[in-house]
Structure 1
């Protein structure tokens, strides 16, 4: 497995990955329909390359993307020291350390390049597997969302988690 920044040559593979994981789980913030509507490859190509405000890392096995971690921050002086993380792994590859490898890569990157003080993330309360991963990397629960996502017409609660760097 290789972990590296997402680049313009990955866009079609990235799009196929998003479609796949959106169909596998409701634990992520977008559905298959959302991917088709909002994450078109032609739009994505234009957004790559601004590593000051966001960067995505991909886990690649057998020349396909099997995991993705994205971190972003606002480029306003009062927000420069905080980032927001999102991570996903293809269900076919769960339990192989891909999530941990992506987490380690992102944390190292932002410490070296952005000098963040804190990373935030949202997670569904029911996603105990992800919560355990985040806690393994030192994330703590900061609060509860009575409604984090609405999935198939049902409001789902969530947790706000953070890691101080």
Structure 2
């Protein structure tokens, strides 16, 4: 008997288990990261870039990743399936200025095909663990497209607090879009 026949509506969800590996990005990941940015940039308007991706040369990205590995208050993590296919990236950017080196700006992107599998949650958990272990980062912050309800729910679930609305953060389809500033204090 189907759900409709017995008067109830039943919800069927396709569930799949996938095994992902999360690791620090290394210079040899540069080409795949740039290709990933073009793919994900074409999948959603919630990113600061579009189908053009990050518009960096592979050599520049390699140098950036090499330098990143030497920083104590910055990181890029990648999520892969079977340590092959790149499906997600989380990063924390900061600076070396004594007054602000404790603040990390978080960026996260998951390939659309893998939305809803918990990859964003795992990446955000790993960012928080790394921040605590760094001994330097005391504040993680991000700005999220105001219409990105899925991301906002994730950040709130992770303990991020809304701090304010930012006007005209992006310009999409001839309209300005607001951003929401959120942060998590690391104690």
Name the structure 1 match of 2:56.
39
Greater relative contact order (Cα 8 A, min sep 6): structure 1 or 2? 1
* Unpaired segments ≥5 residues, structure 2: 1-19
What TM-score, normalized to structure 2? 0.83
* Unpaired segments ≥5 residues, structure 1: none
Are 2:130 and 1:113 equivalent residues in the alignment? no
Stretch deviating more after TM superposition (117-126 or 43-52): 43-52
Name the structure 2 match of 1:58.
78
Name the structure 2 match of 1:68.
89
Count of paired positions:
163
Q: Do the aligned residues in 1 keep the contact of 2:131 with 2:138 (CA within 8 Å)?
A: no
Structure 2 counterpart SS, 1:77? coil
Report the Cα distance in structure 1 between the residues aligned to 2:72 and 2:174, rounded to whole angstroms: 36
Report the Cα distance in structure 2 between the residues aligned to 1:149 and 1:111, rounded to whole angstroms: 31
Report the Cα distance in structure 2 between the residues aligned to 1:42 and 1:115, rounded to whole angstroms: 29
Structure 2 counterpart SS, 1:147? strand
Give a deviation string over 1:60-88, Cα, whole Å, max 9, x none: 01411100001011110000211100101
Moved over 6 A (4+): none
Report the Cα distance in structure 1 between the residues aligned to 2:150 and 2:85, rounded to whole angstroms: 23
Higher gyration radius (CA) = 2
What TM-score, normalized to structure 1? 0.93
Report the Cα distance in structure 1 between the residues aligned to 2:101 and 2:44, rounded to whole angstroms: 32
Report the Cα distance in structure 2 between the residues aligned to 1:39 and 1:22, rounded to whole angstroms: 14
Name the structure 1 match of 2:184.
163
Structure 1 counterpart SS, 2:99? helix
